[in-house]
Amino acid sequence: MTTSEASTKPCLHYTSIDQVPVGIQKYWHQRHDIFSRYDEGIQSTDSAWYGVTPEPVAATIAAHVAEAAPASATTLIDAFAGIGGNTIAFAQSSRWERIFAIEKDPAVLACAKHNAEIYGVAKKIWWIQGDCFSILKTRLAGMKGSTVIFASPPWGGPGYLDDGVFNLSTMQPYSLRDLYTPFSKLSSEIALFLPRTSDLNQLTELAPDGKKLEVTHYCLRGNSKAICVYFGKWNWPE
């Protein structure tokens, strides 16, 4: 195990199962799905393991966002960067003039930067530590009109599957509307990464009348990992 920061929630690279807390061992077993370059020193805080998007899923989402976003969108904002799974995939494309990665937890942001260095894309990303809602309102307000927002928010922990259908109105700490309302003030193209069991009726409440709302399941080895809902005008192939 190697540590890059002295912190109560340090960035750690676990190299054997006996180092890994029981609650995250399931994710550590999937580590090479999550980051194919895990063994080069990928780091995470313990709590950030739950929410990382596995690399093949992140790559497919990045390709979909790059292809379907309006041509006028030149900036991508990853509002909950976590330890960088999605941000790294977005930065591997040359589609974006600017990529902003926002993360509230300084230790988690440090892991993301470190991981992006392993993938050779750290310098292509503008890293911002802080609360995404206040940053979108202040520092990034000038990006209106040219921006796509991608958000993979916390879902209230790994117990999100306990209910058969996941209630997006009571999602913690941010409900669907807590996310959608402020994001839609900056951009009309918003991609939200949500539980595969999400209540689709709650998503349709945000769909404009008569307009298509794209909801995609992203799968790994035949199992859905999560969905992405795409609000706004995306250029999907017919």
Among 42, 79, 110, 226, binds ligand MGP (CB under 6 A): 226
- Per-residue string for binding with ligand MGP, 2-31, x by CB under 6 A? ------------------------x-----
Q: The tokens of 228 are what?
A: 């992405």
Closest approach of Cβ 155 to ligand MGP, in Å? 3
Contact positions with ligand MGP (CB under 6 A) in 51-70: 51-54
Closest approach of Cβ 37 to ligand MGP, in Å? 17
Q: Report yes or no: 107 and 9 within 8 Å, Cβ to Cβ.
A: yes
Contact positions with ligand MGP (CB under 6 A) in 137-166: 152-155, 158, 160-161
Contact region with ligand MGP (CB under 6 A), list: 44-52, 113-121, 178-186, 207-215: 44-52
Output the furthest CA–CA distance in the chain (Å, rounded). 54
Beta bridge partners of 47: none
Closest approach of Cβ 52 to ligand MGP, in Å? 6
> How many binding residues for ligand MGP (CB under 6 A)?
16
Q: The tokens of 10 are what?
A: 């340090």
Closest approach of Cβ 237 to ligand MGP, in Å? 25
Nearer to ligand MGP, 119 or 160 (CB): 160
Among 35, 193, 230, 231, binds ligand MGP (CB under 6 A): 193
Cα–Cα dist 156/159, whole Å: 7
198 binds ligand MGP (CB under 6 A): no
Contact positions with ligand MGP (CB under 6 A) in 83-142: none
Nearer to ligand MGP, 10 or 82 (CB): 82
Which residues are near ligand MGP by CB under 6 A? 26, 50-54, 152-155, 158, 160-161, 193, 225-226
